[in-house]
Amino acid sequence: MKILGIVGSPRKGSSTDLLVDMVLQGAVSRGAAVEKINISDLNLAFCTGCMECRQTGVCRITKEDSDDDLAMIIEKIARAEGLVLASPVYMRYVPGQFKNLFDRLVSQIIITPGKNPPEIKCRIQGKRNSIVIAACGNPDIKMATETLEFLKNAAFVYGNGGTVVSELALGGLMLPGQINLDKRKLLNLASNLNIPEPAVDNMIKQYKSIKEQAYQGGQKLASMKVDTFSK
């Protein structure tokens, strides 16, 4: 079993990044081979909307720029039997850098008109299940709804029989890596934001719980049977 995690946070060590680590650790405990890609490490030009890829499945930019990373990402997704897509919430949505990746990956989506709704399939063959994660600064977790929906649509389950096996969302994250901060640092944060001290204990319990959920989700993802892939 090969599982690929793609982190949409531009900041390494963020809570988003750490939750992906927990999922992948859980997957490794079930014997999976894992890999993580951070959006900040990628060289991706912006989609120009030329639509050439709709016919060929190949982005024009990748043909003109050998340093562009899109082809590499497509190859890694194709070799993965499970995906973890994770993003912070920026203005109720994914960050621009992450959105651009999926704008470019539209080359891998085939939309067949004439049906209602239109038939949508993925050029990347093979069944792959996924986990999606959203980390939000706003304590109202409803603010993560659109981000989760975007990630589910972006998880390459169209037409290949895969499923989103787990959705994780966490709000109230005001500092990078907040889910791993010790109580002293969380108390300092609470003091600066006029958060009652007893709320810190609830935060610690919440962070422990979601990390456990992420770990268990990784175990589940790695344990699910998938179709035989032709590589």
Q: What are phi and psi of 90, to 5 degrees?
A: -115, 115
For the full predicted model, state whether its pTM sits above 0.75.
yes
Query: According to the model, what pLDDT value does residue 55 have?
Result: 85
The reply to whether 152 falls in a domain is: yes
Q: How many domains does the chain have?
A: 1
The reply to whether 204 falls in a domain is: no
The reply to whether 126 falls in a domain is: yes
Question: Which residues does the chain have with pLDDT short of 50?
Answer: 228-231
Query: According to the model, what pLDDT value does residue 230 have?
Result: 42
Query: According to the model, what pLDDT value does residue 110 have?
Result: 84
The reply to whether 97 falls in a domain is: yes
Query: According to the model, what pLDDT value does residue 154 have?
Result: 87
The amino acid that residue 166 corresponds to is: S
Query: According to the model, what pLDDT value does residue 17 have?
Result: 98
CB neighbour burial string for 127-153, b if at least 16 within 10 angstroms, e if fewer: bbbbbbbbbbeeeeeebbeebbebbee
The reply to whether 194 falls in a domain is: no
Instruction: Please report, for the domain that includes residue 61, its CATH number.
Output: 3.40.50.360
The reply to whether 191 falls in a domain is: no
Q: Give the dihedral sign, CA 209/177/147/200.
A: positive
Query: According to the model, what pLDDT value does residue 158 have?
Result: 54
Query: According to the model, what pLDDT value does residue 132 have?
Result: 97
The reply to whether 231 falls in a domain is: no
Find the domain containing 152 and state its range.
Answer: 2-179+214-223
The reply to whether 112 falls in a domain is: yes
